[in-house]
Amino acid sequence: MIEEKKESTEKSLNFIEVIVEEDIKTQKHAGRVHTRFPPEPNGYLHIGHAKSICLNFGLADRYNGKTNLRFDDTNPVTEETEYVESIKNDVRWLGFEWENEFYASDYFDQLYEYAIKLIQKGLAYVDEQTSEQMAAQKGTPTEPGKESPFRNRSVEENLDLFQRMRNGEFPEGSRVLRAKVDMAAPNMLLRDPIIYRIKFAHHHRTGDKWCIYPMYDFAHGQSDSIEHITHSICTLEFIHHRPLYDWFIEKLEIFPSQQIEFARLNLTYTVMSKRKLLQLVNEKFVTGWDDPRMPTISGLRRRGYTPASVRAFAEKIGVAKRDNLIDVSLLEFCVREDLNKIATRVMGVLDPLKVVITNYPEGQTEELQAENNPEDAEAGHRIIPFSRELYIEKEDFMENPPKKYFRLFPGGMVRLKHAYIIRCEEVIKDANGEVTELHCTYIPESKSGSDTSGINVKGTLHWVSVPHAVEAEVRLYDRLFTVEDLAADERDFKELINPDSLQVIEKVYVEPWLKQATTKDHFQFIRKGYFNLDTDSTSEKLIFNRTVTLKDTWTKTQDKQ
């Protein structure tokens, strides 16, 4: 019975793990597992890439294998060293370290030799038609394509032309090298795909050595093979590229890496296209790639997400063979679950209302002890100053409350967190009738931890001592888009941006202990949400980002509409 229970609680294997375990069992590639994470350095990584990182590195970890970090830098026009460095930072932040750091550009000489080999075998030719002419000859899914008039050039002529392409003798766009596969293939990608094009562009690593660059489909599989990658894991859109991937390996007679496809991550209220994310950055809809509203890993990190929460999210959504739409609430659940365990509980008042405790001695300060995290016995305690004048939240007072209102009202009593029970005695208003101040009394015998008053109250409020309060800015973030499934909406995605995705509160009051906060710390502002210090913060001006609310308020709000 014990064994049966153990087996039933074990996590079932996903379909990729089933393939890997079978390969190990049959000693394919001597039982080795060697994966790679192959980003293009043309933008910052997003949460979808995080899923791929966790999958590739996780497989290697599970089966005592290795993972390479390889940059597919075959397009010098869009690639930058800045992106390379950001990608390395993101992978390390997630908690992974690669076995080798490679670049497709490391293999440009080898890839060029592979192209020569295909020409020598009569399997590649130089085409000098325009892109429009080639597109017209491509055919349709139901009609075969037409062969290029240059398809049957001699091997010698193709070798000469390809060498001259490399030497820079032809204008950009005037010649390409195409693989000679099958212009009648049902799979359109097999209809003599382009494998090299001319680009007079400076490469971030090879400089001006090359003026011809391999296409992704040619560079990708061969790079896998050069590195002896056993399991090349791609997203589902590459499933139609697999026959070409295998064709190159077969014709070049090189190490047979195996491509396996899984469903990419699609997330509600989110765009996952690098092109669209770049638009948001370039057109100033956000402050940059690391804007805390962005689904980029750097944006999530700046917002206060933890590596553990992102890894837990990747684990929960699993690995599927079909595309589906994951609710962003699951990602928020994962970060709440992690932050609840590690975040220091602090007090911050976002919309202050002054309270004067009339029977507390003027000029007196009392030091109160507060536990940092009830979920972590080793988190310790800190000191909070208490005085005659305090700030509470405006929403925690109501002059004419409904029944079962447990916060403060005239004649009502509440407990101040870590402090005393107070009673509201008088309400002070301005000329417009707005409440500006409350005069209260406190019960000296009701101090938290040593209460002998015998008074029971149902409400507990957070607060900050006025003379000790530290002024800060708080940034409240919400979903960047108002539509759940952007792919299903025909409008321009920029029309769907949530105008309330960022609310800045320039003057909030936090307890003085937060002056020592760093960007690596995580806090729960009691009753207000989880926060972290933003990178814009300075010693003169603290700025806190709300990572996530304490509860999923968005779903409840949407359900009411």
CA 160, CA 152: separation in Å to the nearest integer?
A: 15
CA 499, CA 560: separation in Å to the nearest integer?
A: 20
Q: Are 50 and 87 in contact (CB under 8 A)?
A: no
Q: Are 301 and 290 in contact (CB under 8 A)?
A: yes
In sequence order, which residues have a C-beta less than 8 Å from that of residue 545 and are 6 or more positions away? Answer: 292, 302, 303, 304, 474, 475, 477, 531, 532, 533, 534
Instruction: Give 320's DSSP letter.
Output: -
Q: Are 11 and 277 in contact (CB under 8 A)?
A: no
Q: Active-site residue numbers?
A: 40, 264, 274
Nearest of 189, 303, 304, 206 to residue 248 by alpha carbon: 189
CA 441, CA 358: separation in Å to the nearest integer?
A: 6
Identify the three-state secondary structure at position 406.
Answer: coil
CA 385 to chain centre: 38
Strand partners, 428: 437
CA 472, CA 505: separation in Å to the nearest integer?
A: 9
Structure tokens at 320: 């599927």
Strand partners, 326: 267
CA 294, CA 49: separation in Å to the nearest integer?
A: 14
Identify the three-state secondary structure at position 370.
Answer: strand
